[in-house]
Amino acid sequence: MKQIVIIGGGFAGINLAKSMAGKTGFHVMLVDRNNYNFFPPLLYQVATAFLEPSNISYPFRKLFQKMDNISFRTGELLEVIASKNKVVLSTGELYYDYLVLATGAETNYFGMENVRKNALPMKTINDALELRNHFLQTLEQATYATDKQQRKKLMTVVVAGGGPTGVEISGMLAEMKQNIIPKDYPELSCHGYESHIFLVDGGQHLLAPMSEESQQDTWSALNDMGVEIMLAKQVKDYKNDIVEFVDGDSIETKTLVWAAGVSASVFEGIPKQSYGRGKRLMVDECNKVQGMEHVYAIGDTCIQTSDPHYPAGHPQLAQVAIQQGINLAKNFSCMLMNEKPNPFQYYDKGTMAVIGTNKAVVDLPKPKMHFQGSFAWLIWVFVHLMFLITNQNRFRTLYNWAGTYFTKDQSLRMIIRPIKNQ
């Protein structure tokens, strides 16, 4: 049997593995640093205590129970030894006939060390839980802060990055400020407090890849919700609770949420010439890594310039990763049968972003259409439920969303920090 080793169980890796399930002639080993798959587009709802981690995650081993030709191992990729068709993991070694790198993207701090140390990213479940604890702890601290300036600093949040993640978490924080904080923290309301949510981005528009209508609708909705939007504003540093900008301005805050950029990972054993822009692996039309044999890359970790509609590479979106995983599974079957593999071409199904309850924007390419408001929000809800990996996840998430919709509240605001015995 042909041994396929997949590194990474995100959108790309998991869809490749599921598409290979039951195919004769193949055994698949999926490797991931976590023992679960999770749904990144809803991390911000975990971070703001509107969903639990179990709503958007599912154990790999449970998922693969009935897929006899698929196995799982926890571990991180340390080195690729291409001459021996072998990978070295933090948990051992594996041999492969085909290696697929689907490691996604990691947070990019653009070389700003203080931002890396002090800002709060949102790329993993761990990040979301850390952010949730931080939000709740700063609110608790604000209730007993005696200094007005200190309370203001605790109640100020800066979100860096005007993409979907930045927009979505800013909107959720604005709804919390309006509907939850006055009820949960009456002492703040009694004594009066100054609270700010800043959304900053180095570009000229929010949601830069989306249509002008979506950008304008998003700006208007967030502005109406009380979010203070600052465009053409680049972060330079974050130290001593001060966010410093390139133009000399600054904001005092205890909370900088970093959603401003991503880059791919670099691995030992992959030639330097195989990497392109953003450390993404350059691949051919069938996702084979340039300069290597039997090594493929899919999803955010690769850049493919052979698609005539995307000569500069595909956007780093979930749909690209899903479609590349499914296409590569078909190509492995073609190669087993000595048939010509199919070049990948991305089919754009549209883009969307949620701003708040009954507030979202949706762009459809064919036919070219734009939606906003409640109808766009319902589309967003339906699509995100369908993208969750199991029915169990869908029911749990729908239950929580229904409760939140009718009560404008949730009961998940617990600060939980496991303590290790010394």
Residues 6+ apart with CB under 8 A from 204: 231, 232
Looking at residue 388, its pLDDT comes to 94
CB 37 within 8 A of CB 67: no
Looking at residue 420, its pLDDT comes to 66
Looking at residue 419, its pLDDT comes to 74
Looking at residue 384, its pLDDT comes to 95
Looking at residue 249, its pLDDT comes to 96
Looking at residue 421, its pLDDT comes to 61
* CA–centroid distance for 261 within its chain: 11
Rg (CA), the chain: 22
Looking at residue 218, its pLDDT comes to 97
Rounded to 5 degrees, φ, ψ at 247 are -80, 5
Whether CATH 3.40.190.10 fits 113-260: no
**Following DSSP, what letter does each residue of 45-105 receive, concatenated?**
HHHTTSS-GGGSEEEHHHHTTT-TTEEEEE--EEEEEGGGTEEEETTEEEE-SEEEE----
Looking at residue 191, its pLDDT comes to 65
2-105+264-336 and 113-260: identical CATH topology? yes
- Distance, CA of 333 to CA of 16 (rounded, Å): 12
* Long-range CB pairs of 266-274, under 8 A, 24+ apart, other chains included: 267/77, 267/79, 267/80, 267/101, 268/78, 268/79, 268/80, 269/79, 269/80, 269/81, 269/82, 270/80, 270/295
Q: What is the pTM (predicted TM-score) of this model? A: 0.93
**Per-residue pLDDT tens digits of the chain, which is 422 residues long:** 999 999 999 999 999 999 999 999 999 999 999 999 999 999 999 999 999 999 999 999 999 999 999 999 999 999 999 999 999 999 999 999 999 999 999 999 999 999 999 999 999 999 999 999 999 999 999 999 989 999 999 999 999 999 999 999 999 999 999 999 999 999 887 766 789 999 999 999 999 989 999 999 999 999 999 999 999 999 999 999 999 999 999 999 999 999 998 999 999 999 999 999 999 999 999 999 999 999 999 999 999 999 999 999 999 999 999 999 999 999 999 999 999 999 999 999 999 999 999 999 999 998 899 999 999 999 999 999 999 999 999 999 999 999 999 998 888 899 988 776 65
DSSP-assigned beta bridge partners for residue 98: 4
Q: Where are the domains of the chain?
A: 2-105+264-336, 113-260
CATH number of 2-105+264-336: 3.50.50.60
Looking at residue 115, its pLDDT comes to 97
Looking at residue 343, its pLDDT comes to 96
